[in-house]
Amino acid sequence: MVVNKQDKQIICTAFANGKEHDFKLFKESKVCVKPKTELDTDTGYLGIAKIHANSVLPKKKTKKNPLTKEDKAFNRNISSQRVLNEHVIGFVKRFKIVADRYRNRRKRFGLRFNLIAGICNFENLA
């Protein structure tokens, strides 16, 4: 899901059959993002800087290179911005279409998911 931070609206959705990595799904969906738009992502999107120059990734800790205080503050700042997206994802999961196994026709999953996204957008406006 792509979420607008200002008004917590779901802009677009993409999904695949079975388990698929988020970044692979993002690349295959060919979501057009303007170059000036800032993308706040998690560490699952390593390599997004090659696709979108204005993207922000948290710093990763390794055994040899622990995080400095500045890096931890940077990661905390990114997390505080990303929490809005996580709240929207949690709101969608209340409908159980994403949280549980989908047992209906796969052909209709996209339609139902987009309807739920519309309901979430309507609720966030109110």
Q: In the prediction, which pLDDT does 69 show?
A: 94
Q: What are phi and psi of 4, to 5 degrees?
A: -80, 125
What is the Cα–Cα distance from 122 to 126, expressed in whole angstroms?
7
Distance (Å) of CA 23 to CA 15, 35, 118: 12, 18, 24
Q: In the prediction, which pLDDT does 85 show?
A: 85
What is the Cα–Cα distance from 11 to 1, expressed in whole angstroms?
7
- The burial of 68, by beta-carbon neighbours within 10 Å (0-12 exposed, 13-18 middle, 19 or more buried), is given as exposed
DSSP letters for 41-104: --GGGTTHHHH-SSEE------SSSPPPHHHHHHHHHHHHHHHHHHHHHHHHHTTSTTTS---S
Q: What are phi and psi of 63, to 5 degrees?
A: -65, -40
Taking only the tens of pLDDT, the chain with its 126 residues reads 888 888 888 888 888 777 778 788 888 888 888 888 888 888 888 888 888 888 888 988 889 989 999 999 999 999 888 888 888 888 888 888 878 887 887 888 888 888 999 998 998 776
Q: In the prediction, which pLDDT does 105 show?
A: 79
Q: In the prediction, which pLDDT does 18 show?
A: 73
Contact 53, 36 (CB under 8 A): no
Q: In the prediction, which pLDDT does 40 show?
A: 84
Q: In the prediction, which pLDDT does 126 show?
A: 61
What is the Cα–Cα distance from 39 to 55, expressed in whole angstroms?
5
Could you state, in order of their start, the residue ranges of all structural domains in the chain? 2-118
